[in-house]
Amino acid sequence: MAADPSGLPVSLSGLSARHSALLALAGITIIRLVAAGFLPVTPDEAYYWTWSRHLQASYLDHPPMVALWIRLGTALFGNNGFGIRVSGPLAAAVGTLLTASATRDFMTTRIGRTRVVSDDLAPPIIAGVLLNATLAVGLGAVMMTPDTPLLFFVAIFLAALGRLSVTGNGFWWFVLGAAAGLGFDSKYTMLLPVAGVGAWCLLSRPGRAWLKTAWPWGAVLLAAALTIPVFWWNETHGWVSFIRQGGRAADWKPARAVQFLGELLGGQIGLMTPGIFLLCSRALLKSVRSHEKTDRLLLAVIVVPLLVFFQHALGDRVQANWPVLIYPPLVVLTALSHPRWWRPASVFGLVLGALVLLQAMIGILPLNRHFDITLRQGGGWSAFAREVREKTQGVAFIASDDYGLASELALRLDNVPVLGGESRWRLVGLPAFLCDSGEGVLIRNARRSFPSDSAWSGIASPGLAITRARYGQEAERYVLYMVRCPLPAAVLQDLRQLPAAH
């Protein structure tokens, strides 16, 4: 049986390879849906769930798309892990198909023909496999964060670029505009690949030709229209979200730049997995020397965000997940280079992702909390909530000044009001809480002391301690502080009653 340079068999027919790839994608999607139902809900996911119970045009930390997706899932399947996450595996499956389609189109444009023969199935399949073998997608597909809808709209954006390149049909600019606007409504970093396309339009002959038409300008107007709710919310809330997310861009700490850049590099090696990182890095360096028009377009979409993250790392920490929006165009570029070692790199990534999922669900390795992020984030929440319920019978309320802990309690407790004790909750528009008499409980991480300006420190008396654990491995310790009503005004101004999971 013959094989193309990528290692895929091609002598039978391209149809069998396509069907095998689709079956594999269907299988991994089913596995992810099952995992989505079994994995414990993490504090950040619970936080976004609280948003979904009080929908608005935007929020302090991110735009509203993640809340909309969660609201849709929980409306269909209930306030549980599966309902919160069900959109993720489905979006990852569709995003994979869109990325493969973009690869096929860019490949067709590169070789200068419109008829694609059977062996040309190899790069689209390679791109889809590489994308799913990264930890960012392999694990991100079963978690619900703003990156989940962001990557979906990036995949639409990339597929529209491919169609635009191969057809020359200006209609695809409007798909680009819609994807850009909805991606911005998911996470503000969607601006970066959009800026990459803008740079390509200014610096390339084909791009400048498009600027002489109405199509890209119409796309800009469409994208802007789709972002109006987010801008309106910010304008009516003192631009707090834009200030929070954009205010760090001008930080400059050259003494720590090496540390921050090292963390950025290490984070990408981890989220891509080492083999895929090496393949993508090689393809990226190779494409810099290429004169292919398709490579120039893909490079613009990849390099502009990379330069922004590099600049940011000179003054502040870049979270490892921020650059994941370049992974779809990066695996397309890599697949077009026909990498020889894509199969072992992908197998390693898929196996590693499966091990991490198993660790999160059942703790197959007896790692302590310092080495196991799955334990710290997700271990033991159900048992912890049951113990809190048992030890707080008859209290007027349960509060926490940690947004993640408060959100977990709101999701899991329905026998007593759960209050968030941070100023961020006022921006969600939740109802204030009044307590004229009785006794309540404040739950705090036992490893943390009260901030010097905390109004709680003078009224809270330490009481019981509770440990959150998974199969005997400690995840975290908490202290239950007793407080009496009426509460001081300095405390009441930040207390908001979180939605219950009814």
pLDDT, tens only, 80-105? 999 999 999 999 999 999 999 999 99
Q: pLDDT tens digits for 399-454?
A: 999 999 999 999 999 889 999 998 899 999 888 888 877 899 999 999 998 888 78
In angstroms, the CA 6 to CA 24 distance is 18
In angstroms, the CA 250 to CA 122 distance is 43
Q: Is the pLDDT of residue 249 over 80?
A: no
3-state DSSP assignment of residue 473: strand
* Segment (H or E) for 17: helix 14-38
Q: Which residues pair with 399 in a beta bridge?
A: 419, 442
**104-108, 135-139, 247-251, 480-484, range with the lowest pLDDT:** 247-251
> Mean per-residue pLDDT for 286-291?
85
Q: Is the pLDDT of residue 8 over 70?
A: no
- pLDDT over 70, % of the chain: 93
Amino acid at 468: R
> Mean per-residue pLDDT for 314-324?
90
Strand order, beta sheet including 461-470: 461-470, 473-484, 439-445, 398-400, 418-420, 496-497
Q: Is the pLDDT of residue 492 over 90?
A: no
- Chain-centre distance of CA 364, in angstroms? 25
Q: Is the pLDDT of residue 217 over 80?
A: yes
Q: Which two tokens stand for residue 264?
A: 């950025």
> Mean per-residue pLDDT for 197-206?
95
Q: Is the pLDDT of residue 122 over 80?
A: yes
Q: Is the pLDDT of residue 13 over 50?
A: no
Nearby residues of 496 by Cβ (< 8 Å), 6 or more positions away: 419, 420, 425, 426, 428, 430, 431, 432, 433
Of how many residues is the chain composed?
A: 502
Nearby residues of 217 by Cβ (< 8 Å), 6 or more positions away: none
Name the nearest CA neighbour of 439 among 496, 395, 488, 491. 395
Amino acid at 295: D
Name the nearest CA neighbour of 435 among 357, 491, 376. 491
Nearby residues of 258 by Cβ (< 8 Å), 6 or more positions away: none
> Mean per-residue pLDDT for 451-462?
86
In angstroms, the CA 250 to CA 243 distance is 12
> Mean per-residue pLDDT for 468-488?
93
CA angle (150, 151, 152) in 5-degree steps: 90
Q: Is the bond preceding 216 in cis, omega lying within 30 degrees of 0?
A: no
In angstroms, the CA 28 to CA 201 distance is 38
Name the nearest CA neighbour of 404 among 425, 373, 430. 425
Q: Is the pLDDT of residue 114 over 50?
A: no
pLDDT interval class at 19 (50, 70, 90)? confident
In angstroms, the CA 333 to CA 313 distance is 25
- Chain-centre distance of CA 257, in angstroms? 25
Please report where in the chains the tokens 């033991």 appear, as a residue.
380
Contact 491, 418 (CB under 8 A): no
When comparing pLDDT for 36 and 246, which is higher? Answer: 36
Name the nearest CA neighbour of 137 among 355, 373, 350, 351. 350
Note the pTM of the prediction, 2 decimals.
0.93
**100-104, 201-205, 217-221, 446-450, range with the lowest pLDDT:** 446-450
Give pLDDT, residue 121: 64
Q: Is the pLDDT of residue 343 over 70?
A: yes
3-state DSSP assignment of residue 371: coil
Q: pLDDT tens digits for 161-186?
A: 999 999 999 999 999 999 999 999 99
